[in-house]
Amino acid sequence: MVVEVLVKAAHGAPDKLGDCPFCHKILLMLEEKNVPYQMKLVNLSDKPDWFLEINPEGKVPMYKDANGKWVPDSDVIAQIIEEKYPEPSLVTSPEYSTVGSKIFSGFINFFKSKDSTDGSEQALLDELRSFDEHLKEHGPYVNGDKISAVDLNIAPKLYHMEVALGHFKGWKVPESFANYHTYTKLIFSRESFTKTKAAEEYMIAGWATKLSS
């Protein structure tokens, strides 16, 4: 059975995959579990009526479950997929499930900051350092030797961070975070990741709208 999933279309290019790390997480999960799926792009700049009828909040991703019901929220969708397709397991040890969870908000704060003295860059660096230290002790993946749900959640966000900060601020993650760089090289080169990531030009277009909002 082929599952259906609704994801964000690219800003200014509604026929291309857009820049949504939460959609990316679900696509990664389906790829890693070898679940056949049909991806439908939704133009969030001009939301179609059929989409708003099934999801008045107008958010993606959405996933059609076995009963034909559309389910929103990437965390809920991830849980459904894990339960329905348990092999290979992507379950993360509870003690590691929140590792790196503050990096994304730290990135957004720094990304939107116009004050170099507000501490937002240092706050992001502190989170990245903590993540790097965890990987040094427990890597190569967050949960150890095998990729798990926590990696599929954080990797798209790290990719967004690198592309957006690199383009708009000329900023890069320090080379001294060697374990971080080993990790991202490992994840970003996985077939599942390269197959489901948005093109950099569409990510930049998406983040440009956030600078003006």
pLDDT tens digits, one per residue of 105-134:
999 999 999 999 999 999 999 999 999 999
Q: CATH for 3-84?
A: 3.40.30.10
Res. 67 pLDDT band, cuts 50 70 90 = confident
The catalytic site residues sit at 20
Q: With contact defined as beta carbons under 8 Å apart, do 79 and 92 qualify?
A: no
Closest CA relative to residue 63, chosen from 46, 49, 83, 45: 83
Residue type, 62: M
For the domain made up of 94-211, give the CATH fold.
Answer: Glutathione S-transferase Yfyf (Class Pi); Chain A, domain 2 (1.20.1050)
Q: In the chain, which residues fall in CATH 3.40.30.10? A: 3-84
pLDDT computed for residue 213 by the predictor: 61
> Rounded mean pLDDT of 15-29?
98
CA distance 108 to 110: 5
pLDDT computed for residue 65 by the predictor: 87
Pairing of strands 70-72, 13-17: unpaired
Q: In the chain, which residues fall in CATH 1.20.1050.10? A: 94-211
Residue 89 has pLDDT above 90, yes or no: yes
What's the N-to-C CA distance of the chain in angstroms? 41
CA distance 207 to 213: 10
> Rounded mean pLDDT of 82-93?
97
Residue 212 has pLDDT above 80, yes or no: no
pTM of the model: 0.96
